[in-house]
Structure 1
Amino acid sequence: MPAEWEPHAATWIAWPHYEGDWPGKFEPIPWVYAEIVRHLVAGENVHILVQSAVLERRARRVLKDAMVSLRRVKFHHWPTDRVWTRDSAAIFVKHQTRGNSPLALMGWRFTGWAKYSNYKRDAQLPQRMAEYLQLALIRPTINARGRERQVVLEGGSIDVNGRGTLMTTEECLLSKVQERNPGMTRAQLEKLFAHYLGAHNVIWLGRGIAGDDTHGHVDDIARFVNPTMVVAASERDPADINYKPLRDNLRRLKKAKDQNGRRLRVLELPMPAPVIFQGRRLPASYANFYICNSAVLLPTFNDPNDRVALNVLTELFPARKIVPI
């Protein structure tokens, strides 16, 4: 599995439509997505999934009003339940084959983070992508209790350095809460990662951050930024609920080694102050950035640490523009 910073032919996103993902705050979201697309098309093609021709027209209008060139944009009328394609869409992998393409799609089973019932449209995305791109679709399975069972995995639950090392969390993949693959062991998961993703070295972190309804996705807490370095979310306030789990993750990372047995370099990324909406803490984290060909899209929160996070990533990605979103 390639690292996120490696060259992309395109990025796949779904145009926002499900207001429940931004309760009370949906109105500006299409404009935020227009800004995202504007920076993506500067360096790569963008495939946008829309519910219908009507929504495509609305999306085109927003993009044009935001002065976004549509030359590198391709719309697909593929209805989705939610917009989180990092989790639900196929994962691109390189593989050795006698076919025409060195690429294949990994179609893990998607079940709405083992929490939500509206996921069946999203679960169809790997098949749709494979048919459109005419690439092989690999569906990882495991023999459980005498029968083959498709393995559940979301893209945000793992992060890789593209050289054979993968990070994930025990909370997401081994917990009985929001259990993705009942009965599956750590050893079985590691074997799957090695076989299907070429990741023979797995780093297990502990827990994710408060408010994360995925129950522990690693893309909120630790990310590879090159083959030998990880940035890790760090909370400085001992009274904060995230303090202990994030300190534990830092301890694990500082002891971790890469696929060649070498210690990783670990750089701390601050956390923003708690973001509360309607009495609920939201999973705000600077680690949930996206690396595209020409930029790094960084979530920001109108917080003093926004500047700190921007400076950290500016030093780590000197050839890319760091864009606050």
Structure 2
Amino acid sequence: MTAKQQLLPEWTNQEAIILAWPDKTTDWAPWLTAVQTVYCDIIVHLTEKHTGVILLIRQSEVEYCKTLLPKSAEVLLVIADYNDTWVRDYGFLTCSKQGVMSPVEFTFNGWGQKFDASKDNHINQTVLASLCKNAIEAVDLVLEGGAIEIDQGGTLLSTQLCLLNPKRNDGIQLSEYNKIFAEYLGASQNIFLKHGHLEGDDTDGHIDTLVRFTPNNGLVVQSAFNRPNDTHHSGLAALVSECQKAFPNHKIFELPLPCIKNIEQDRLPASYANFLISNQQVLFPIYHQPEDVLAMDIMKQAFPKHKIVPIDCLPLIQQFGSLHCISMQVPSGTLKPTVLAQFAKGITQYAEQ
């Protein structure tokens, strides 16, 4: 039997994280200084652990960006043009086939044609492909990276609300997703959750705002146990019950739910589950809310072997996303040696070799 490629869980050792620099041409313009500060904080914490950062950036922003980062930061500036900075949803995924890293991309259509994604959808082949050892395989399916979560055994999580949106893959049923995820992502089991959705969420219930695996057979679930009168309470309670039934042998860690509204009094989809696992640390979103401390304590229980690093993501949630949404991990063995060598030189601009 021929070995299949399998999508790697997030806690696999990483050689880089991909980010896209927020600038005045993106939707971050009203909060630009605060958001750029968040990005710099993330970059500093990643590169302190010698995890390189591939930073997509427009040429006009290069010199200014350099002034905001410590010269020792291991950052590769890669010139690119993009619609916005939600790299989780258009950056390539990485599978392993007998130890060989195989990048895979899907079509990104702006979360079911809600927003223009024409530039983002070309980033992998026109920009990121030149950094990888192996060609990026293109799969003819609309799918965002934030819509799926996988563990080391090949169990893949997603949500029915997202996958069955007719403006993503009109007519495709869950049985067809089963086949595609098995073939291209090596999923041995697919669990498509029915419950859970946050107000203000443009993604139709991305799993990375709701349920995340831990390396030790645990599940971190965005609950609302702390807000019994919240409009989210019943739906998220049903999500917890659904996870308990689907994973009877896993330990469930329920996160409290913050309540954040913007100046127009719209509820923002703030989720503590939107964290980034990276090389023995978890970059964890906090929002200047009373629930931050409790959420941090629960995460320390869920990831006892990882350092939990709080990142102020209140500026990010103003655009209805958070920390995991803006990042994409690159497992070790994916990038060309010349790319890795550049990280050691501090902040440099990429030139294809």
TM-score class, shorter-chain normalisation, is 0.7 to 0.9
Deviations 1:198-231 (A, max 9, x none): 1121112123211111111111111011252111
CA contact (8 A) 1:190 1:200 kept: no
Secondary structure at 1:263's aligned position in 2?
Answer: coil
Q: Give the whole-Å Cα distance in 2 for the aligned partners of 1:256 and 1:21.
A: 38
Pairing of 1:228-247 with structure 2 (within 5 A) = 228-236=217-225, 237-247=227-237
Say which of 134, 144, 150 aligns to 1:160: 150
Q: Which letter maps to 1:297?
A: L
The equivalent residue for 2:177 is: 189
Say which of 75, 78, 83 aligns to 1:76: 78
Higher relative contact order (CA 8 A, sep 6+): 2
CA contact (8 A) 2:62 2:77 kept: yes
The equivalent residue for 1:214 is: 203
Shift in alpha-carbon separation, 1:294–1:19, aligned structure 2, 3 A: farther
Deviation at 1:319, TM superposition (A): 3.5
CA contact (8 A) 1:256 1:264 kept: no
The equivalent residue for 1:126 is: 124
- Give every structure 1 segment of 4 or more consecutive aligned residues whose post-TM-superposition deviation is greater than 4 Å: none
Q: Give the whole-Å Cα distance in 2 for the aligned partners of 1:316 and 1:264.
A: 11
Deviation at 1:197, TM superposition (A): 0.8
Deviations 1:150-204 (A, max 9, x none): 201000011111211011111111134xx31000000000111111111121112
Q: Which letter maps to 2:89?
A: D
Say which of 55, 60, 67 aligns to 2:66: 60
Deviation at 1:123, TM superposition (A): 0.7
The equivalent residue for 2:315 is: none
Deviations 1:21-67 (A, max 9, x none): 44632221111110000001122111100011x21111111113xxx
Which ranges in structure 2 are unaligned for 5 or more consecutive residues?
1-6, 312-353
The equivalent residue for 1:5 is: 11
Q: Give the whole-Å Cα distance in 2 for the aligned partners of 1:294 and 1:164.
A: 21
CA contact (8 A) 1:50 1:75 kept: yes
Pairing of 1:126-145 with structure 2 (within 5 A) = 126-127=124-125, 128-140=127-139
Q: Which letter maps to 2:171?
A: G
What is the TM-score of this pair, normalised by structure 1? 0.87
What fraction of aligned residue pairs are identical, expressed as a percent? Answer: 33
Deviation at 1:117, TM superposition (A): 3.8
Which ranges in structure 1 are unaligned for 5 or more consecutive residues?
141-149
Q: Give the whole-Å Cα distance in 2 for the aligned partners of 1:79 and 1:20.
A: 11
Counterpart check, 1:324 vs 2:310: yes
What is the TM-score of this pair, normalised by structure 2? 0.81
Shift in alpha-carbon separation, 1:19–1:218, aligned structure 2, 3 A: farther
Shift in alpha-carbon separation, 1:157–1:270, aligned structure 2, 3 A: same
Deviation at 1:20, TM superposition (A): 5.5
Q: Which letter maps to 2:61?
A: L
Counterpart check, 1:51 vs 2:58: yes
Q: Give the whole-Å Cα distance in 2 for the aligned partners of 1:194 and 1:76.
A: 33
Say which of 28, 38, 41 aligns to 1:32: 38
CA contact (8 A) 1:255 1:263 kept: no
Shift in alpha-carbon separation, 1:267–1:319, aligned structure 2, 3 A: closer
CA contact (8 A) 1:232 1:268 kept: yes
Aligned length: 301
Deviation at 1:313, TM superposition (A): 1.5
Deviations 1:251-303 (A, max 9, x none): 1100114xxxx632221111112333422111101000001114211111111
Secondary structure at 1:219's aligned position in 2?
Answer: helix
The equivalent residue for 2:264 is: 278
Shift in alpha-carbon separation, 1:168–1:18, aligned structure 2, 3 A: farther
Secondary structure at 2:117's aligned position in 1?
Answer: coil
Secondary structure at 1:288's aligned position in 2?
Answer: coil
Q: Give the whole-Å Cα distance in 2 for the aligned partners of 1:160 and 1:277.
A: 36
Q: Give the whole-Å Cα distance in 2 for the aligned partners of 1:273 and 1:168.
A: 24
CA contact (8 A) 2:218 2:253 kept: yes
